[in-house]
């Protein structure tokens, strides 16, 4: 089934629809009635569903959080999942206004053109092309539109927990080509320990980092302690300053994304290792020794008993993202990414035991299971075939440490929209998508929907 002529003939209409959607600044806002994530994400959803209806599709809307359009008949359903919310514009736009949808230099500019409105409008026209060609699929094809991917995924988690229909399989054009068939499992959690301080050294401040998924570039502690304490710390990238009744200790690190902590340096770990050089006693001494020795600047959790790896995705990684000391309680927030073929049941107990041994208790934990679709699975075989036929390139399979939208429901992988070697401008100023790439995405998505639903 050749959808290219339809897509090329409707290119102007597709781009106009996309530009209209880009002009809605669908950043998360204050909840309102019929707009749980704020007015603009809801408006983007309503406009998108209106477009789908105009093109002749059935639509559905679950509580203004997730909407869909559907084509074809059949018991089973194949899904294409994407989102209509965007991150804020940020500074540094030089080519166009952030929400212009302006076309120039063969590109369409604006927040969301690549992530993820462009690919989803392409998917809508891809579905229209299949309908126009009279395609009669054996499975229903559903385009699912989320509205809260960027800030908490309160969209798809709602859909799944409120009995939204799950696909037999599908993909999300919210990652990259060729195919991401493996995503590490993610455990984000907080462990805390209350300290009863009795010795000469009293911790009054210990803090660093902003989010579990970023390796912190800076951390600082303050202690009430004897005046000679400053001379007891000697470490690289650590500064000790005398303050009233004690010292301030500051550590530097290198900030990187928490899925690749091995590329950075953890300032919190470095700070704990510096403090552990002091003659701390009692619970403070035990606690700092534990953090320094069992976590420190390790990025694979080796000393916590988490040294695990697989061939497809390499080692487990651990990122200590945030530390806080409030009401005499030290809290550590971290993100663990475990290999794609390993199971939660294996990883979580070890993590838990590791921290319990240090006197910490779990105060928060979220889990997103690893994804691994083997190369011989039907979904991967079919998507590979489509990619190779459409591009003439080999469909290399990738495993990554980051989580994509595919994690939000079972049986999905990330497929597109960014081609290998293309500039990645999502979340950056001057976000754009080449018009040719928008149309190629529509063609590939049409071919993929055909292949999965035929």
Active-site residue numbers?
Answer: 85, 149
Which stretch, 2-10, 90-98, 172-180, 409-417, contacts Zn ion (CB under 5 A)? Answer: 172-180
Residue 426 C-beta: closest distance to Zn ion, Å = 7
Nearest one of 358, 268, 279 to 322, comparing CA atoms = 268
Nearest one of 167, 143, 145 to 156, comparing CA atoms = 145
**Cis status, amide bond into 116, omega within 30 of 0:** yes
Closest to Zn ion by CB, 298 vs 426, is 426
Closest to Zn ion by CB, 119 vs 358, is 119
Q: Give the Cα separation of 179 and 396 in Å (integer).
A: 7
Residue 116 C-beta: closest distance to Zn ion, Å = 4
Q: What DSSP line would sit under 307-340, residue for residue? A: --EETTTEE-EEEEEEEEEETTEEEEEEEEEE-T
Closest to Zn ion by CB, 115 vs 431, is 115
**Cis status, amide bond into 453, omega within 30 of 0:** no
64, 40 in Cβ contact below 8 A?
no
Other C-beta atoms closer than 10 Å to the C-beta of 73 total: 10
**How far does Cα 142 stand from its chain's mean position?**
23
Which stretch, 33-41, 174-182, 202-210, 336-344, contacts Zn ion (CB under 5 A)? Answer: 174-182
Residue 149 C-beta: closest distance to Zn ion, Å = 5
Q: Are strands 179-183 and 371-372 parallel, antiparallel or unpaired?
A: antiparallel
Residues near Zn ion (CB under 5 A), total: 3
Interface with Zn ion in residues 246-265 (CB under 5 A): none
308, 348 in Cβ contact below 8 A?
no
- Told to check if 174 binds Zn ion by CB under 5 A, we report yes
Which stretch, 63-71, 113-121, 206-214, 437-445, contacts Zn ion (CB under 5 A)? Answer: 113-121
Q: Which of 40, 70, 85, 115 binds Zn ion (CB under 5 A)?
A: 115
Closest to Zn ion by CB, 178 vs 358, is 178
Residue 86 C-beta: closest distance to Zn ion, Å = 8
Closest to Zn ion by CB, 170 vs 208, is 170
Judged on CB neighbours under 10 Å (0-12, 13-18, 19+), 224 is middle
Tokens describing residue 11:
């290119």
Closest to Zn ion by CB, 174 vs 222, is 174
257 secondary structure, DSSP code: B
Residue 83 C-beta: closest distance to Zn ion, Å = 6
Q: Which of 40, 70, 85, 116 binds Zn ion (CB under 5 A)?
A: 116
Which stretch, 40-48, 115-123, 199-207, 356-364, contacts Zn ion (CB under 5 A)? Answer: 115-123
Site string for Zn ion, 76-105 (x = CB under 5 A): ------------------------------
142, 171 in Cβ contact below 8 A?
no
Interface with Zn ion in residues 131-170 (CB under 5 A): none
> What strand order describes the sheet that includes 238-243?
238-243, 246-252, 218-224, 202-208, 317-326, 329-338, 185-194, 361-368
Closest to Zn ion by CB, 149 vs 265, is 149
Residue 180 C-beta: closest distance to Zn ion, Å = 13
Residue 151 C-beta: closest distance to Zn ion, Å = 11
Other C-beta atoms closer than 10 Å to the C-beta of 164 total: 17
The dihedral through the CA atoms of 145, 30, 404, 406 has a sign that is negative
Interface with Zn ion in residues 348-377 (CB under 5 A): none
- Told to check if 176 binds Zn ion by CB under 5 A, we report no
Q: Give the Cα separation of 169 and 265 in Å (integer).
A: 39
Which stretch, 110-118, 187-195, 317-325, 336-344, contacts Zn ion (CB under 5 A)? Answer: 110-118
Binding positions for Zn ion, rule: CB under 5 A: 115-116, 174
């Amino acid at each position: 089934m050749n959808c290219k002529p339809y897509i090329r003939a409707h290119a102007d209409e597709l781009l106009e629809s996309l530009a209209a959607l880009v002009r809605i600044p669908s950043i998360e806002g204050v909840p309102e009635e019929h707009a749980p994530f704020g007015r603009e994400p809801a408006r983007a959803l309503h406009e998108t569903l209106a477009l789908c209806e105009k093109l002749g599709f059935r639509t559905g809307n679950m509580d203004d959080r997730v909407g869909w359009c559907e084509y074809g008949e059949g018991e089973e359903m194949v899904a294409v999942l994407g989102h209509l919310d965007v991150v804020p514009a940020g500074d540094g736009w030089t080519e166009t206004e952030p929400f212009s949808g302006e076309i120039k230099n063969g590109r369409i500019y604006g927040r969301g053109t690549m992530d993820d409105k462009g690919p989803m409008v392409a998917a809508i026209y891809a579905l229209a092309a299949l309908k126009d060609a009279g395609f009669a699929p054996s499975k229903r094809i559903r385009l699912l539109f989320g509205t809260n991917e960027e800030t908490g995924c309160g969209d798809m988690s709602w859909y799944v927990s409120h009995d939204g229909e799950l696909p037999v399989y599908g993909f999300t054009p919210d990652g990259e080509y060729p195919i991401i068939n493996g995503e590490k499992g993610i455990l984000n959690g907080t462990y805390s320990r209350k300290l009863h301080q009795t010795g000469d050294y009293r911790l009054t401040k210990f803090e660093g980092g902003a989010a579990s998924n970023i390796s912190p570039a800076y951390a600082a502690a303050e202690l009430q302690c004897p005046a000679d304490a400053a001379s007891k710390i000697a470490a690289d990238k650590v500064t000790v300053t005398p303050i009233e009744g004690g010292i301030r200790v500051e550590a530097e690190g290198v900030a990187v994304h928490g899925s690749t902590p091995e590329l950075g340096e953890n300032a919190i770990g470095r700070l704990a290792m510096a403090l552990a050089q002091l003659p701390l006693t009692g619970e403070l001494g035990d606690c700092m020794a534990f953090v320094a020795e069992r976590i420190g600047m390790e990025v694979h959790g080796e000393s916590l008993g988490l040294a695990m790896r697989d061939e497809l995705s390499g080692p487990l990684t651990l990122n200590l993202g945030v530390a806080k000391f409030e009401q005499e309680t030290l809290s550590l927030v971290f993100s663990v990414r475990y290999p794609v073929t390993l199971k939660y049941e294996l990883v979580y107990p070890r993590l838990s035991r590791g921290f319990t041994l240090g006197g910490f208790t779990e105060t928060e934990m979220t889990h997103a299971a690893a994804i691994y679709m083997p190369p011989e699975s039907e979904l991967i075989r079919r998507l590979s075939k489509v990619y190779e036929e459409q591009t003439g390139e080999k469909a290399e399979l990738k495993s990554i440490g980051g989580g994509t939208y595919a994690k939000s429901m079972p049986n999905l992988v990330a497929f597109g929209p960014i081609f290998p070697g293309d500039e990645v401008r999502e979340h950056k100023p001057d976000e754009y998508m080449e018009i040719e790439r928008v149309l190629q995405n529509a063609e590939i998505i049409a071919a993929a929907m055909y292949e999965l639903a035929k």
